[in-house]
Structures are given as structure tokens and as C-alpha cells.
Amino acid sequence: KNTGVSVIGLGQMGSALVKAFLTKGYSTTVWNRSPEKAKDLVAQGAVYTPDVEEAVATNSLVVICVLDYQAVHEILDTVGSTLSNRTLVNLTNGTPEQARLLKERVTQLGVEYLDGGIMAVPSLITRSEAVLLYSGSQKAFEMHRQALDSLGTSKYLGTDSGLAALNDLALLSGMYGMFGGFIHSVALVRSEKVNATEFTSELLIPWLHAMMTTLPKMAQMIDSGDYKTKDANLEMQASLDTIGDVSRAQGISTELTDPIFSLMQRRVADGHGDDDFPSVIELLRQSTN
Ligand code: NDP
């Protein structure tokens, strides 16, 4: 059986994936809409074919990483049933729904479908800090685990193919929340010309590290639905808008901090002042889950 990999899509990310497979000694067949992007990779040992159907036919493991799902579907239109009995690992960014629909489409051809979310930039690929989230066919994940591990740290999240995209977006949400907090924090100290670089490394990062240790306890509260606390309850935290008052006095907009304080205050107004902070999640839940 062929232990090679076919990679469809040689953009920034696709090219990094190919290099990683080549470094680990996988014979790698590549295809890209614009052929010139294959040149450097061929010099490094990849096999290029101008025929996408041939690229798919060559190996039982097919990795696709193109701009978006529309491109994935357009490429699959030209491949037809050649994909049958193969494993398709799709590392193109998209929504859980797009992943589920694609799984449906290719499963009809007898394809094992694994969806992936890459938590890294191309230059991080191969390093353990590059985390790749997978969901969908467990059989495909187990069978090709070794090849996938060439790309970074592989995490399998379950058989629902939408889970990788959902977790990917959840992690990015956490990141943007942190970036937002960082920007407001630095804007406040900069209003008095405090050096942002020094403030960040000396005070903010150690503080955020300490605060991060409180997240597992908060997550447990959310899992159990029991938000009672004896420490810092919502009423105490939300009663004074000191951050808002001082920000305004320093000429700093409160548009990043307002949403979180307004949620805390609404929760207090709803009679949950005794709860700990994670209780505000109840206000974010707009459906039945
Ligand atoms: P690039 O813009 O560098 O490459 C896009 C690729 O998609 C090219 O190979 C391009 O082909 C191809 N493509 C676009 N439209 C079509 C089409 N209609 N038919 C065939 N091929 C098409 O993007 P990246 O490589 O950076 O990103 C690829 C995927 O990886 C995206 O979904 C991105 O969100 C995701 N990703 C990227 C990260 C990054 O840091 N770069 C990080 C995490 C995920 P052509 O060369 O012919 O234009």
C-alpha cells in the first residue's frame, strides 16, 4: 500500500504542509490551480501533476488546503469518483456546517472524511506549538495519525466533523478577548505615557498568567451550572464602574470593556448578584442548549 500523501492547494499553508511531509520522508504528490507554485516544492522532492484527478488517484491519503469551501467543492467537482475509498483531510478554514455538508458529500463516494483546523501560521508547521484540531472519521485519524503528526500536535475531537471548526473558532474567540483586554489595558497606562513594553512584560503578563489559573474552576462552574461563590461575587465586581469612569477621565473609549460590564450588571439586576463571574454565560445563551 502506498504510504505517500497527495496535497491539493499550494498556497502559503499548503506549501508548508508539503514541506513538512517531505521532511518526514513521505512521498508527496502535489497539485495547485496555478502550476508555478509547485516549482520550489518539486526542487525539494515533491512530485507535481497538472491533473488533479491523477493527484487524488496516486495516494490513499489526500490533504486539501485551499482558500475556502467554494474552492474545495469546485475542485471536487473535477475529481468525481476518483476520490472513492480514499481519506480526505480538509484543512481549509470554514464553519462547522460547511464541514458537515462536505462530509455528507464525500461520504456518499465511500470517502473517510476528516476535517481539520490549523491553529498556527505556516512558519510554525512541524513544530509542536502548531496545534491541528481534527474531527470526523476516527478510523481516518488513527490510520493516518503518523503522517498528520508531521504537521504539528494533532488533537482529535470526535466524530462530528463540525467540531474542529467549532473549537478553532472558540479558541480564536478566547484569543480576541485577550487581545481586547490587552489593548484596553495598555491604552489606560499609555494615557499617562507609561512604557507599554515594560508594563506588558513586568505587570500585565504575570497578572494574566495568574488570572488564567482561575479558568478551570470557572469552567467547572459552567459544566455544573452552580455559580455560587464565597469570594468575589458579581454584585461586588459590577457595582462600581471604576474602570469605565477612569477610562473616560483619561480620554480612553470604553467600547471594549462596556459589553462585559453591562452583562455583569444585567445578571445582578436579574437577581444573580451572589453568583461568580461565569454566571454571565447564561445571558449569552440564546437558544435551548
Ligand atoms: P493562500 O491565499 O496562500 O492560498 C490559497 C490557495 O487556494 C491557493 O493554492 C489557491 O490557488 C487556492 N485556490 C483559491 N481559490 C481556488 C479555486 N477556486 N480553485 C482552486 N484553487 C483555489 O492561503 P493559505 O494557504 O494561507 O490558506 C489556505 C487555507 O488555510 C485557508 O482556508 C486559510 O484560512 C487556512 N489557514 C491559513 C493560515 C495562515 O496563517 N496562512 C492559518 C490557519 C489556517 P492559486 O495558487 O491558483 O491561487
Q: The domain that contains 55 carries what CATH number? A: 3.40.50.720
CATH number of the domain enclosing 278: 1.10.1040.10
Query: Which of 131, 159, 187 finishes a domain?
Result: 159
204 shares a domain with 104: no
64 shares a domain with 28: yes
Query: Which of 159, 192, 209 finishes a domain?
Result: 159
Terminal alpha carbon distance of the chain: 45
Residue 51 lies in a domain: yes
What is the number of alpha carbons within 13 Å of residue 125 lying toward its C-beta? 22
Total tally of structural domains belonging to the chain:
2
For residue 2, what pLDDT is reported?
A: 46
223 shares a domain with 118: no
154 shares a domain with 171: no
56 shares a domain with 148: yes
For residue 174, what pLDDT is reported?
A: 97
For residue 142, what pLDDT is reported?
A: 98
Choose one of 34, 37, 67 to mutate for the ligand 1 pocket test, by most ligand atoms within 8 angstroms of C-beta. 67
Q: Residue 143 C-alpha to ligand 1 middle, in angstroms?
A: 26
Query: Which of 159, 180, 212 finishes a domain?
Result: 159
Residue 289 lies in a domain: no
- Rounded to the nearest 10°, the torsion over CA 134, 136, 140, 146 is 10
pLDDT digits (tens, 9 = 90+) for 41-97: 999 999 999 999 999 999 999 999 999 999 999 999 999 899 999 999 999 999 999
147 shares a domain with 13: yes
115 shares a domain with 224: no
Spans of the chain, pLDDT less than 50: 1-2
20 shares a domain with 108: yes
pLDDT digits (tens, 9 = 90+) for 234-246: 999 988 889 999 9
31 shares a domain with 127: yes
Residue 33 lies in a domain: yes
ipTM over 0.85: yes
| 9 touches ligand 1 (CB under 6 Å) | yes
Provide the domain limits for residue 26. 5-159
Q: pTM of the entire structure?
A: 0.93
Q: Residue 98 C-alpha to ligand 1 middle, in angstroms?
A: 16
The grid coordinates of residue 151 equal 504537521
| 65 touches ligand 1 (CB under 6 Å) | yes
Nearest atom within ligand 1 for CA of residue 119: 43
How far is the C-alpha of 271 from the C-alpha of 111, rounded, in Å? 52
260 shares a domain with 152: no
| 13 touches ligand 1 (CB under 6 Å) | yes
